[in-house]
Chain A
């Protein structure tokens, strides 16, 4: 992992189209501004992790559940 130190107001470039700027630092909370082309999706990593979790939960469906659905 590449580690860079930045101060408030400073930024980094990822490739030549994505800019990540440190807007403010307050205790352990860092506010980031992200400038990226529309085609690049930006998410908090928790969102992606929650989708992985939800997929696993969805798979926990017992295989006899369809019988139940048909009866309802």
Chain B
């Protein structure tokens, strides 16, 4: 099927690639179906695109590329909600807020997007320890091996 996207115009997607966000995304509780689209850039980024609302397209970063020691626990409740059976099924991303330059941009480490790639469920979870990881982590401080 084809969908209208924020960044790439019309894109063909496969039905089996659709991710279900049962609770939507905070601020957008009605958007429940998304796909991940690769970004044609030399950066560890992808786009989370709503298949129903064209304007709902978030740029996500692979957080470990920018903050190596980033880690968090997924609660039992969230494991159930996402039907997570093993750690390997899970991928975590951070929503990026792009500014004029990439170095000034930030990513949200407080509320990562967690995706069960096997069962195709996703959720933006809020980490309990809000002191440890900020809502606006400067992305310019690249630590990992990416680029």
Contact = CB atoms under 8 A, between A and B. Distances in A.
B26 A61 contact: no
Q: For chain A, what secondary structure do more than half of its interface residues adopt (helix, strand, loop), or is it mixed?
A: helix
Interface residues of A, number: 25
Interface stretch (A3-11, A21-29, A62-70): A62-70
A61 B111 CA distance: 19
Contacts of A59: 55-58
Interface residues of B, number: 35
Interface in A31-72: 38-43, 47-48, 50-59, 61, 63, 65-66, 69-70, 72
B64 interface: no
Given A48-B126, A63-B6, A38 B76 contact: yes
B122 to A, nearest CB: 14
